[in-house]
């Protein structure tokens, strides 16, 4: 869905917040940011949520 929006609207950069989970926690909860990174063709800037 995010990928379609990017394509439909000519987005050139995606900025996403991330919790910085690792290991088992990330495996069990998944990672939206990681999924977006793997699927989109534009640069993605990941910002730690503690800095937002």
pLDDT value, residue 25? 61
| pLDDT at residue number 12 | 96
DSSP run (H or E) holding 52:
none
Q: Which residues, 6+ apart, have CB-to-CB distance to 25 below 8 Å?
A: none
Instruction: Give the SS3 label for residue 46.
Output: strand
Question: In which domain, by residue range, is 32 found?
Answer: 2-51
Q: How far apart are the first and last CA of the chain?
A: 24
Cβ–Cβ under 8 Å, residues 40 and 3: yes
DSSP symbol at 51? G
Q: Which residues of the chain have pLDDT under 70?
A: 20-30, 51-52
Residue 14 β-bridge partners: 44
pLDDT of the residue at 52: 46
pTM of the model: 0.69
pLDDT of residue 9: 96
Domain count, the chain: 1
């Amino acid at each position: 869905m995010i990928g379609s929006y990017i394509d439909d609207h000519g987005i050139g950069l995606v900025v996403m917040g991330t919790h910085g989970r690792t290991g088992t926690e990330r495996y069990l909860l998944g990672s939206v940011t990681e999924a977006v990174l793997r699927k989109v063709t534009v640069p993605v800037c990941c910002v730690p949520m503690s800095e937002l």
